[in-house]
Amino acid sequence: MRFADLDLSKTYSYADYFKWKFEERVELIKGKVFKMSPAPNRAHQKLAGHIYRYMGNFLEGKPCEVYTAPFDVRIPRKSKDDKDVITVLQPDVCVICDLSKLDEKGCIGAPDIAVEVLSPGNNAKELKKKYDVYEEAGVKEYWVVSPQNQWLRIYTLTKGKYIESPYLLAGDVAKSSVLYQLGVKIRHDFCYRLVWPNYIK
């Protein structure tokens, strides 16, 4: 099957998604197919790589695991059966602390943290749908990073709704409420470095 053969008006499940072998990368959001951007540019990959590496270093020896895309996060509805799962996302970076959610296919259930690094191809409709899915699924912390506009925003789940941080810019420190004492300082070249706990005021 080719991507062009898909009927984009249909509702698909993970059972369908898992069988697709075409080259294009896609995500499912409530059963609808969203084609992911072409290969991300260097700024996107550099930022995602920094965040992944620093979170991984921070989590060394701790009971959480960090993964980078491509890595399927399946959000179940009434059951975890492949045919009942209609949302499959590939966050750029995600952290899972409940290791029972991990299987050979990826993650089944909400990660604790999802990080999306924006690309020029991301559209507002797609981002709004992802925001809604992460909030509804109970993702505790959602990071959105814009290399183009040079800001980071953290959405923290509070009583079932996201509370958004201000736009974090060069010189600011982004603090995680999920990974206690993790901080990321935003440099003027918009690369990221880890700020260890004793540096966080």
Give pLDDT tens digits for 94-127.
999 999 999 999 999 999 999 999 887 776 777 8
For residue 192, pLDDT over 90 is answered with: no
Query: How would you label 114-144 residue by residue, b for 16+ Cβ within 10 Å and e otherwise?
Result: bbbbbbeebeeebeebbbebbbebebbbbbb
What integer pLDDT is reported at residue 198 of this predicted model?
A: 45
Which stretch of DSSP H or E encloses residue 34? strand 32-35
Band the pLDDT of 50: cuts 50, 70, 90: confident
Q: Which amino acid is at 165?
A: S
CA 14 to CA 26: how far, in whole Å? 12
Between 186 and 178, the higher pLDDT residue = 178
Signed CA dihedral, 13, 140, 52, 164: sign only: positive
What integer pLDDT is reported at residue 31 of this predicted model?
A: 96
What integer pLDDT is reported at residue 196 of this predicted model?
A: 56
Taken in order of first residue, the domains within the chain and their CATH numbers are 40-199 (3.90.1570.10)
Most confident of 22-26, 36-40, 157-161, 195-199: 157-161
Give pLDDT tens digits for 13-41.
999 999 998 888 899 999 999 988 766 77
Which tokens sit at 21? 């072998």
For residue 58, pLDDT over 50 is answered with: yes
Mean pLDDT within 68-80: 94
What integer pLDDT is reported at residue 201 of this predicted model?
A: 44
